[in-house]
Amino acid sequence: MKNSKKKRSGFVKGQSDFTQLPTKFVYLNNGTEGSMPVSVIKALNKNLKKWANDPTTSYETDPVLGKRQKKNRQAMAQFLGVQLNNVCLTDNTTMGLSMVMMGLNFKAEDKLIITNHEHPSITSPTWILKQKLGIQVEVRDFPQPAELSRMNADQLIDYLFPDIPELRNATALCISHTYNTTGVRLPLDKVKKRTDKLNIRYLIVDGAQGLGMVDMSKAGNRVDNCDFYAAPTHKWMNGPPGTGVLYIKNLQLCPPEFYPPLSQKMGAYMSGDEAHACIPMVEALTVRGCSMIPANVALTKLLKFFDKIGGQAKVEQHILGLSCTVRDYIASQSPDSLISPADNELQSGLVSFYPFNWEHPQKCFKDKDGVIAVVDKLLEEGVQVRYVPFPTVDFSDECKLQGHAPNLIRDCSGEPVEQTFAIRVSTGYFNTPEDVKLFMKTLKKVLTV
């Protein structure tokens, strides 16, 4: 799809700044990658040129481009409502989570709790720790879609993290803020309350589908509910590729509780020099060699863009409003196909559903080939969504007889996992009501057979 330089007609403030998005193309995959407003693109280009003009000075001593990134970290800290030394700038969520999970001083007797819907950014380091150290891993299964879609937040937290011996006194709970599979957004304040009740030491959160989608100043979204929160700034925030942020709550975090992987500063903690040993952990993690610092500088323009359009609350209102329209439309046509919950507290900018036969909407299909075919047909019509796989055991014999058998894969532990597939729609800030109407019209066309 070729880009058009023509400005898009904005329905809310700032939408017309996304000039690189094609005018005759509906992009509904913000949960994978966002776009960038023109101010961010200009800032990125400007600072790339400045870096190229004087690379050594830029990296070593420049107050903005320099390796310690204090000004850029301070801007992000203010955006999150935390302190400078709570924030490390990273390349992406995977990097931040690996820093945390491979940095904490886990031992064989420790236990990690995850769910069966976690992204590989969590499951991969989890199973590395299991293989290397022999730590215990407790996997909590999500309810099946038919049950999940009717749950409220309290019911889901009780289901996932009940007060049972298997969960009490665990070392860490590693979860997602918003699940890329179902679109479920967990209220972090309630999760924090539950971890305290269960006496779980660390709450580690994958924020890949949170930052930039929701208002991070709201109680249920605040990062200071967590001990660690890793997120990208290239998805919902619409920042440059290869940018992200890691929040660390404990300002005094240091070895032997935590060792800084991906860092050049471990020697400082071992030196015996009190001044060096007090280096903030986030700074140690930031100074790790040359990163894409010009992109981090461009993030400051992105934060100003958020101010320009009315702040995080306005962004959340717009994104969730469009998402509700999509959800309500699917529910009105085929309620059995809807996976994402209706409860306001659990809703996000992601809506997942099984494709269905438009003339016989009770007939849903969940096989990989069939779902990908729908995604491809939508793309041919100028609408981009994506498919998502997730583990499930809710697969009817009728579907199997029709040849729609689920795919069996092996997770990182080597255990076989049954997967089904669904369509996921991500309504970004740059999307308009007209985009959603076109998606709904096109979906009907594609599903009518």
Strand (E) or helix (H) holding 286: helix 281-286
Angle (CA) 250 66 61, round 5°: 120
CATH number of 15-30+311-447: 3.90.1150.10
Strand (E) or helix (H) holding 88: strand 87-90
Partners of 353 in the beta sheet?
338, 423
The tens digit of pLDDT for each residue in 124-174 reads: 999 999 999 999 999 999 998 889 988 999 999 999 999 999 999 999 999
* Domain boundaries along the sequence of the chain: 15-30+311-447, 45-307
The tens digit of pLDDT for each residue in 59-104 reads: 898 888 888 889 999 999 999 999 999 999 999 999 999 999 999 9
pLDDT band at 436 (very low <50, low <70, confident <90, very high): very high
Pairwise CA distance, residues 10 & 15, whole Å: 5
The tens digit of pLDDT for each residue in 412-423 reads: 454 556 788 999
Residue 406 in this model has a pLDDT that exceeds 50: no
> How many helices and strands (H and E) does the chain possess?
16, 13
Q: Is 45-307 in the same CATH topology as 15-30+311-447? A: no
The tens digit of pLDDT for each residue in 104-132 reads: 999 999 999 999 999 999 999 999 999 99
Pairwise CA distance, residues 245 & 353, whole Å: 30
Class of domain 45-307 (CATH, top level): alpha beta
* pTM for this prediction: 0.92
Report DSSP state, residue 338.
B
Strand (E) or helix (H) holding 53: helix 38-53
